[in-house]
């Protein structure tokens, strides 16, 4: 058997068993990698649930592709974002203003099935008539997080721009690109974040993400010594609660900042006329993601 077909066989093992075969040499695979063909969508969903593969494969018109490989850098980067958001959402936990992390729940749209690395949706976002995130009535998440380590940034960028942020779907997306080092299990140095909001566009209507570099070294190889609070992504309530009925958000969130406008200080919380204080008023606005903390997890996750 040729080396190529040997590798193909060992790599197929991941699809069949949910485990990566030690002889599959996944670190040499070009992503996206075609893992299995002629797979019905329901089989894909069953298989990914059974083996808990979410975020590494995707399904398109019957073909399953590997889009990312498991790594501690990829996983701790996701958790470094998720725990910050969850911590700040504490005041609404267990209320009708709660925002759930759906993690890598599979979404479906016509011929494709995709998962984000993390996805946040208000519990009170209503059902839709058609074209929901499950292909039927489930609303789409308002915020999705995608982390690319082994995969190319351009592939994830397309996924965000042409899938997650299509009209009627998510409002904001965060794309983290961690540059893989020259050898595996070496701590990465270069990392960037892009924050997309569907309201933030160029004059011609193209999505215009805000870009943050949170690398540990600069182009000359000098340490950047990133400090807490120095590179921070701001996510407005208006984005996080997009599509939620106004009566749940009393007082209503302030409008999102206009693209290219100077940053305004946060308005003071308005007094709530209802006898029960609205838990949303106790949330920080914006919800922030401090990239220092994300970097801290990435660079300290292996010892």
| Interacting residues toward Zn ion by CB under 5 A | 171-172, 197, 239
CA distance 123 to 275: 22
How far apart are CB 197 and Zn ion at their closest, in Å?
3
Nearer to Zn ion, 24 or 240 (CB): 240
How far apart are CB 198 and Zn ion at their closest, in Å?
6
How far apart are CB 196 and Zn ion at their closest, in Å?
8
Nearer to Zn ion, 57 or 241 (CB): 241
Region of residue 75 (left: phi > 0; alpha: psi -120 to 50; beta: else): alpha
How far apart are CB 104 and Zn ion at their closest, in Å?
21
**115 and 146 Cβ atoms separated by less than 8 Å:** no
How far apart are CB 61 and Zn ion at their closest, in Å?
30
Residue linked to tokens 């401090």? 290
Nearer to Zn ion, 135 or 257 (CB): 257
Going by the DSSP 8-state scheme, the letter that residue 106 receives in this structure is -
CA distance 189 to 216: 5
Nearer to Zn ion, 66 or 173 (CB): 173
Q: Is residue 190 within a helix (H) or strand (E), and if so which, with residue range?
A: none
How far apart are CB 293 and Zn ion at their closest, in Å?
22
Cβ neighbours around 28 below 10 Å, total: 7
CA distance 79 to 59: 24
**224 and 230 Cβ atoms separated by less than 8 Å:** no
Nearer to Zn ion, 74 or 237 (CB): 237
How far apart are CB 142 and Zn ion at their closest, in Å?
8
Residue 215: half-sphere exposure toward Cβ, Cα within 13 Å:
16
Nearer to Zn ion, 11 or 237 (CB): 237
Nearer to Zn ion, 71 or 199 (CB): 199
* Strand ranges across the sheet with 57-60: 33-36, 63-66, 57-60, 112-114, 107-109
Nearer to Zn ion, 231 or 242 (CB): 242
**106 and 113 Cβ atoms separated by less than 8 Å:** yes
How far apart are CB 143 and Zn ion at their closest, in Å?
8
**120 and 240 Cβ atoms separated by less than 8 Å:** yes
How many angstroms from the chain centroid is the CA of residue 48? 18
Maximum pairwise Cα distance, the chain: 75
């Amino acid at each position: 058997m040729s080396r190529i077909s040997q590798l193909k066989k060992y790599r197929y093992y991941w699809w069949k068993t949910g485990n990566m075969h030690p002889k599959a040499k996944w670190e040499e695979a070009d992503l996206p990698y075609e893992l299995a063909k002629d797979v019905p969508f329901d089989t894909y969903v069953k298989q990914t649930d059974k083996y808990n593969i979410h975020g590494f494969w995707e399904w398109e018109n019957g073909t399953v592709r590997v889009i990312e490989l498991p790594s501690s850098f990829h996983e701790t980067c996701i958790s470094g974002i998720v725990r910050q958001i969850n911590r700040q959402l504490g005041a609404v936990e267990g209320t009708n203003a709660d925002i759930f992390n759906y993690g890598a729940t599979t979404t479906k749209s016509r011929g494709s099935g995709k998962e984000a690395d993390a996805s946040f949706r208000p519990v009170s976002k209503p059902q839709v008539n058609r074209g929901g995130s499950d292909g039927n009535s489930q609303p789409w998440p308002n915020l999705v997080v995608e982390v690319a380590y082994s995969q190319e940034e351009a592939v994830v960028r397309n996924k965000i721009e042409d899938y997650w942020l299509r009209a009627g779907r998510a409002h904001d997306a965060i794309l983290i690109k961690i540059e893989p080092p020259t050898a595996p299990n070496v701590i990465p140095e270069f990392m960037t974040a892009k924050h997309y909001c569907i309201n933030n566009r160029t004059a011609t209507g193209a999505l215009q993400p805000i870009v943050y570099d949170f690398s540990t070294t600069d182009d000359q190889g000098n340490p950047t010594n990133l400090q807490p609070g120095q590179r921070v992504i701001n996510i407005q309530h208006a984005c996080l609660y997009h599509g939620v009925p106004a009566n749940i958000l009393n007082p209503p969130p302030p409008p999102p900042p206009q693209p290219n406008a100077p940053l305004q200080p946060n308005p003071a919380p308005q007094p709530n006329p209802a006898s029960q204080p609205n838990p949303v008023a106790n949330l920080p606005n914006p919800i922030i993601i401090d990239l220092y903390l994300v970097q801290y997890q990435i660079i300290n996750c292996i010892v």
